[in-house]
Amino acid sequence: MQVLAAMVEFALLRDGHDVHLVGNPECVVDRISCHHPGARERGVLYVACEQVRPAAFPLNGKASVICWPEGSSATEALAATYDALRTAETWASSLGEALLRGATLDDFMTLGRDMLGCAIAYFDCNLIVLASSDDYWLSSGLLEGEDEGLSVEGQIPSRRATGLVEDLDYLHAAEIHGGFYYEDAFNRMFYGVNTFDGDEYLARLVITLPAGVKRLHRGQEQLIDVYHARLDDLFLRFAGNAGIISAQHDSLHVLARSVILDADTVDAEDATSVLRSYGWSAQDEYVVAKLVFFEGVHWDTVSLYLCGLLERTIGNNCAFSTDREIVWVANLTRAARGEETSDQVMKRFIKALVAMLREYACKAGVSGRYSNFLLGRGSYLEAGYALKYGQVRDPHFWYYRFEDYLLDYLLVQSAGELSAMQVCHPALAALRAHDAEQGTDFARTLVCFLRNNQNTTQSAEELFIHRTSLMRRMAQIKVIAPVDLDDQDQVLHLLISAKLLGI
């Protein structure tokens, strides 16, 4: 690494020395020498313990001067400056060694934090935190407040992530090659550098500036450039081993995708083997949720982030994204804690789901519970139907459980390609026609009577009429539309017809 003058100045300031740089901060430092009149040698960083005129060392010059307070010991100043140069060189070497040995991203964060003196983090394009220094979460404000939405250890809280996703300046920063400054909604300043593979934005190094500081020291920026170049190499070479990234391609996720999206291609023995390797059984109890995102949401920016967030909420589950939706499969049997029942695990599942839905522009359908992993395709369809019919009947709800909309599904399926009027009971059709022509209310009266199990008193109360009036209406109904109310099949047909017609 080429050590630049501003790097040396920053290292000295970091160690508590009262110095300032005169001349070109980008000057490459080949060696250090004591300042003397007429000194201008290329690649030399001069050390002065007397006043130096800045004009003598222009910003575009080939040499610079580290100015110490007047009266400082020249010997001590030279030694400290040389140590700062060696510190920068040694640090750069340690980065290279870490890369060669395949150090973890966490180890690399520690190396960066130790030299740069600021909290740092590295997260991918889906806002999944790949690694961070120990102080990043507190310094960035991500642990402040009591209501940050859905949150799990090691990831940006969902409410803060939502703010970033909706911030166009932040999103457009993904196109920037080189360092940039960013101020969040809480007036905190950050310095970011993006990782690209060609023109594809993959990840971002984020440095948190201390409170009240608007810009980093130029030497810090130079060191960050060196650090980020090595971090890029580490990410591109070893990111495939990172758990968060590789999880979407492990055998369990691959199997879940196959079962959910293309069940015909799944071999039962292979599926059993995969499940066994994760400590699961095909006969465990499962549930599927389908989360759908609406137009206008930055789907590509948050999909993997949300999958990772969901997977860390209850344990023993997997989530994957496909076609503007997330499919979440949870193993309720294996997710149980201690003596926790299946119903209690289901409550935790729903709680985590609702917390997610409140933070993002999405809704969800939830299947019934099932006890054969290979039947996941049918349960995925259940979740889709719950979402479809639930949004029609209860558009203000966040999520819809298939068991609550099963009758809606049966009614729609019973009609098929025919209209509701074509399949409804002819007696009900005749009563609706009579009501439209004569202004009567016979169709609703019959339906009310049947729903109250043919109880005259309860029906009269619900219709706000006298019991005698109800009996008179029923007599007229039997004349207009003769029907045997003791025939259970006819009663069922009438009730289904009422549902189809919205009576």
Amino acid 100: pLDDT: 66
Write out the residue range of the structural domain in which residue 257 sits.
250-411
Domain boundary residue, one of 214, 242, 270? 242
206 falls within a domain: yes
264 and 368 belong to one structural domain: yes
Domain boundary residue, one of 411, 439, 455? 411
100 falls within a domain: no
Least confident of 373-387, 394-408, 410-424: 410-424
400 and 284 belong to one structural domain: yes
80 falls within a domain: yes
Nearest to 375 by CA among 451, 286, 498, 448: 286
92 falls within a domain: no
Q: Are 281 and 395 in contact, with CB atoms under 8 Å apart?
A: no
Q: Report the C-alpha gap between 455 and 422 in whole angstroms.
A: 29
220 and 321 belong to one structural domain: no
311 and 198 belong to one structural domain: no
Split at pLDDT 50, 70, 90, the class of 124 is confident
Q: Are 500 and 424 in contact, with CB atoms under 8 Å apart?
A: yes
* Greatest extent of the chain over all pairs of C-alpha atoms, in Å: 121
Q: What is the pLDDT of residues 450-466, one digit of tens each?
A: 999 999 999 999 998 99
Q: Report the C-alpha gap between 130 and 104 in whole angstroms.
A: 10
90 falls within a domain: no
For the chain, how far is it from start to end, CA to CA, in angstroms?
79
HSE-up of residue 500 (Cα within 13 Å, Cβ side): 23
Q: What is the pLDDT of residues 247-301, one digit of tens each?
A: 666 889 999 999 998 877 788 899 999 999 989 999 999 999 999 876 655 555 5
For residues 170, 173, 178, 181, the Cα torsion angle rounded to the nearest 10 degrees is -30
Instruction: Please state the rounded mean pLDDT for residues 77-99.
Output: 92
216 falls within a domain: yes
CB burial class (10 A; 0-12, 13-18, 19+) of residue 102?
Answer: exposed
274 falls within a domain: yes
Amino acid 240: pLDDT: 40
In the chain, how many domains are there?
4
Residue 160: what residue type? R
333 and 216 belong to one structural domain: no
32 and 55 belong to one structural domain: yes
Q: Report the C-alpha gap between 318 and 334 in whole angstroms.
A: 12
342 falls within a domain: yes
Q: Which residue has the higher pLDDT, 346 or 138?
A: 346
Domain boundary residue, one of 85, 117, 142? 85
158 and 137 belong to one structural domain: yes
Query: What is the Cα 104 distance to its own chain's centre?
Result: 23
329 and 393 belong to one structural domain: yes
331 and 306 belong to one structural domain: yes
The first and second tokens of residue 394, run together, are 């209860």
What separation in angstroms does the CA of 184 have from each of 165, 208, 237, 331? 12, 11, 31, 38
Q: Report the C-alpha gap between 495 and 502 in whole angstroms.
A: 10
Amino acid 299: pLDDT: 59
In the sheet with 317-321, reading across from the earlier edge strand, the strands are 317-321, 325-331, 286-293, 362-366, 399-401
152 and 67 belong to one structural domain: no
